[in-house]
A and B are shown apart, each in its own frame.
Chain A
Amino acid sequence: MHRLLFEKVGDSVYLSHLDLIRVFQRAFTRAGLMLKHSQGFSPKPYVSVALALSVGVESVCELLDFELENDAPVPEDLAQRLNATLPAGMQVREVYESDRKTKELTYLTARLVLEYDRGIPNDAREGLQTLFSGESLVVSKHSKKGETETDILPMLRSFSLEQLCDTELAIRCTVCAQNPTLNPMLLVSAIEKYRPDLRPDFASCRRLEILDAEGKTFR
């Protein structure tokens, strides 16, 4: 299986999962390569991206699996060729072979940046530490079945805080990546629900690393 590691930052965070797949399908064509097509009535070039990323979230550790038509060899300069035509904010970091199945992916680490325009509240660090060390934190989330209630704490494996400047506080966390999955942005929902006084003016999220069941980097 051919795999590539890419990042999706800056304004490319607004591309949806389907947009992203289409962008890669076209980028391969622009690179002069033909992807293997699906069978059937209307054949489509096949690529698979692990762990769909929410719109608005940055990542420096995305994986895409692909196969080429007629099992053509992968050119050595594929990353450069793709990067030459990818939209602003997207970049392929590595192209390699892997036989590890993406279902082995278990955890991911992410960094949330909480922006407090009037300065970080005095009790923010302590308050957040306490909040996320509790027994349970039930938040509601949108899903295909409508609003559902979820306890996020069982899916939160590690949590730490770091002050970036007078107005920005960062949360670094490790969460379950799939079955079940926790969108790190739900930590912000929890703050809004349980500590509205610590609600940030804006929050952003970046996926930093993907891990296997042992907590080792997954490639």
Chain B
Amino acid sequence: MTDLLHRILPQVQKPARYVGGEYNAVIKDKSQVSLRVAFCFPDTYEIGMSNVGMRILYGVMNAMEGVWCERVFAPWGDMEEAMRRNGLPLYALESHDPVRDFDMIAFSIGYEMAYSNIVNMLDLSGVPVLAKDRSSLENMVFAGGVCAYNPEPLADFIDFFSLGEGEESTPEILELYRTAKEEDWSKKAFLCAVAKIPGVYVPSLYEHTYAPDGTLAEIVPLEGAPERVEKRIVQDFDRSYFPIDGIVPNTEIVHDRTNLEVFRGCIRGCRFCQAGFCYRPVRERNADTILEQAKACLDNSGYQEVTLASLSTSDYKQLEQLASPLLDYCEPRKINVSLPSLRADNFSRELMMKVQKVRKSGLTFAPEAGTQRLRDAINKNVTEEEILETCATAFSGGWNSVKLYFMLGLPTETDEDVIGIAQLTQKIIHTWREHAVNKKRGLSINLATAYFVPKPFTPFQWEKQISKEEYLRRVRLLKEHLNSRSVDYRYHEADLSVLEAVMARGDRRLGPVILEAVRSGARMDGWNEYFRADLWERAFSVCGVDAAYYTQRGFEESEILPWNTISVGVSRDFFLRERHRAYEARISADCRTGCGGCGANKLLEGGRCDA
């Protein structure tokens, strides 16, 4: 008789994503395994399998003797519906065993819109969603990823968080759990012990109290938990583990290619960018190491595309030493090299022309702001001249399409800055008229604006988010000033960005709101076809929580922030200094030109970063 799963699969879209069986998926003998980890990604297979961090930690955990780490993704709506209707619990892809049978359940959380999926996946697994209702070591739920830096909205659900890079800390955590399991510790004893591993934050060991005005009054560590939890990093990034024999998906995923990490951190210091501060200090991988990894990955996977991933690839000091042999390797094999995150400088322009010999990819700029004044205020070190020059080169080289990304609602933004976006777009159109080699094909500009979300661990963490009405007014203002048929303008959904801001900046009082929203059907909030602002609005009102408190109030500089216990290595003083420079529209030099003293270098033994 065909089992339940295989009876369901023919009824759902893209069933290949629900069965595993891919080349290089890790299968272990259960009798030889003493610790099983269900590694959950709170989004679809296509998104989760594109995540480099998940691939690294999957390899790290499975390299441990007696540990079997398996993957779990959020099912699409039709599959979830079929699973619930038939009573099939969420299962892991490798063994098809139910998640509730696993020792540990890990989540990688990259963005706030996944919070509802985390709770929903626990529920679909038949695991109690609240940490306090899971009384034993079984089903220990932990989480990492960039959202773990403000873990408070998830404190009700997650037993502990692993902050920062997990290559070194994850095995330490797993070994401790294995000891606890062998010696039959209580959950409390394990949590107190795991809190002593550097980089581990156990929310239940901290008491948050609020003042009558709603602000945080005090955070008190309990049971000897550390006052401050600092994120972990790998000390030797050049030699740190990188999966050269990763899983090759059978079905198409978002980033269906070999992704290589060239460096971590960023020297730029754009003041709105959480990644730019949270991944510090800057550490480079040697060009030779990367080239070897590239060859191994491509040979082992059969991928036809390779990309160099980093926050700003042009800033990689050995880019020239890497790009040339990499192109030499890829060209005869007809492998496409893609270089996202290039800056609009001279060298990048030359490189761009070289790369397009294999295949012509798109041209994308993220000036973020429409005027030089505002770009200086946010420390986005790109000038109009650089953008137009790069466009001119590209247009005379045959490109006919440009993507432009901006933000609306940045601190100090005025109407002049909004209109500046339209003016810059107009100048690009003018540049095309002057330089295009084939005007018959026309120009296509895809212009997109995001609704600025002030994120923790940035100089703008204290800022307000502008109101939804004001955001939409600025959208209309921009639209009115766009008058070319070559421009296709799209803007981010307002309600979604408001919710993102609430979750990013929220505290423990959001736990009940998330639970209520999920109970009433919220999930897959990052997907237009599923996001329902009304469910969230209702959840806030049922729980008596004011969403605007977290977005439009802003934080006082003297206030205790919800993420006060956490440190990403960059000092509060540095963030404050940068915030005040923003108000003066003063740029700060990049880390290579002049160290700004952010403090992240102290995370490294020896205290020297690779900027």
Contact = CB atoms under 8 A, between A and B. Distances in A.
Nearest to B3: A202
B300 interface: yes
A12 interface: yes
Interface stretch (A13-21, A60-68, A93-101, A149-157): A13-21
Nearest to A32: B299
Interface stretch (A81-89, A104-112, A126-134, A206-214): A81-89
A125 interface: no
Contact of A43 (B21, B248, B298, B334): B334
Nearest to A12: B21
Contacts of B303: 26, 29
B593 interface: no
A10 interface: yes
A88 B18 CA distance: 14
A88 to B, nearest CB: 3
Given A11-B20, A88-B21, A55 B15 contact: yes
Interface in A48-97: 55-56, 85-89
Interface in A118-168: 167-168
Contacts of B299: 29-30, 32
A87 B9 contact: no
Interface in A1-37: 10-12, 14-16, 18-19, 22-23, 25-30, 32, 34, 37
Nearest to A167: B1
Contacts of A168: 1
Interface in B257-304: 298-304
Given A37-B334, A42-B359, A115-B2, A86 B15 contact: no
Contacts of A55: 10, 15
B302 A28 contact: yes
A12 B20 CA distance: 9
B19 A14 contact: yes
A45 B19 CA distance: 27
A202 B15 contact: no
A26 B301 contact: yes
Given A14-B16, A19-B16, A85-B23, A25 B250 contact: no
A55 B6 CA distance: 12
Contact of A19 (B10, B251, B301, B333): B251
Q: Which of A11, A86, A89, A167 counts the most B-chain CB atoms under 10 A from its CB?
A: A11
A19 B250 contact: yes
B384 interface: no
A215 B36 CA distance: 52
A210 B574 CA distance: 71
A27 B21 contact: no
B7 A15 contact: no
A89 B301 CA distance: 18
Contacts of B1: 115, 117, 167-168
B590 interface: no
A43 B300 CA distance: 21
Contact of A16 (B16, B18, B300, B301): B16
Nearest to A165: B1
A32 B299 CA distance: 8
Contact of A11 (B19, B252, B301): B19
Contacts, number: 79
A19 B252 CA distance: 7
A189 interface: no
Contacts of A25: 302, 304
A27 B299 CA distance: 10
A26 B248 contact: yes
Nearest to B11: A56
B22 interface: yes
Contacts of A88: 20-22
A23 B250 contact: yes
Interface string B2-37: 100001011000111011111100000000000000
Interface residues of B, number: 28
Interface in B321-352: 333-334
A26 B302 contact: yes
Contacts of A43: 334
Contacts of B333: 29, 34
B22 A87 contact: yes
Contacts of B14: 16
Contacts of A23: 250
A12 B23 CA distance: 11
Contacts of B10: 55-56
A19 B22 CA distance: 12
A15 B304 CA distance: 19
Contacts of A12: 21, 250
Contacts of B359: 42
A102 B16 CA distance: 27
A43 B334 CA distance: 8
Nearest to A23: B250
A204 interface: yes
Q: Which of B18, B252, B299, B302 counts the most A-chain CB atoms under 10 A from its CB?
A: B302
Contacts of A202: 2, 7
B252 A14 contact: no
B38 to A, nearest CB: 19
A22 B9 contact: no
Interface string B221-256: 000000000000000000000000000101110000
A16 B2 contact: no
A27 B300 CA distance: 9
A29 B23 CA distance: 13
Given A11-B20, A15-B16, A85-B23, A29 B302 contact: yes
A14 B359 CA distance: 31
Contacts of B19: 11, 14
A46 B23 CA distance: 21
Contacts of A28: 302
Q: Which of A12, A22, A25 counts the most B-chain CB atoms under 10 A from its CB?
A: A22
A27 to B, nearest CB: 6
A117 to B, nearest CB: 7
B251 A16 contact: yes
Contacts of B251: 15-16, 19
B190 to A, nearest CB: 36
Nearest to B1: A115
A10 B2 contact: no
Contacts of A87: 21-23, 250
A23 to B, nearest CB: 6
Nearest to B359: A42
Contacts of B23: 27, 30, 85-87
Q: Which of B2, B15, B248, B250 counts the most A-chain CB atoms under 10 A from its CB?
A: B250
15 contacts: A18-B252, A19-B252, A23-B250, A25-B304, A26-B301, A27-B302, A28-B302, A29-B299, A34-B333, A45-B304, A56-B9, A56-B10, A87-B22, A115-B1, A115-B2
Given A14-B16, A202-B2, 20 more contacts: A12-B250, A14-B15, A14-B19, A15-B251, A16-B14, A25-B302, A26-B303, A28-B302, A29-B298, A29-B301, A29-B302, A29-B333, A30-B23, A34-B334, A45-B304, A87-B21, A88-B22, A115-B1, A168-B1, A202-B7
Interface of A: 10-12, 14-16, 18-19, 22-23, 25-30, 32, 34, 37, 42-43, 45, 55-56, 85-89, 115, 117, 167-168, 201-202, 204
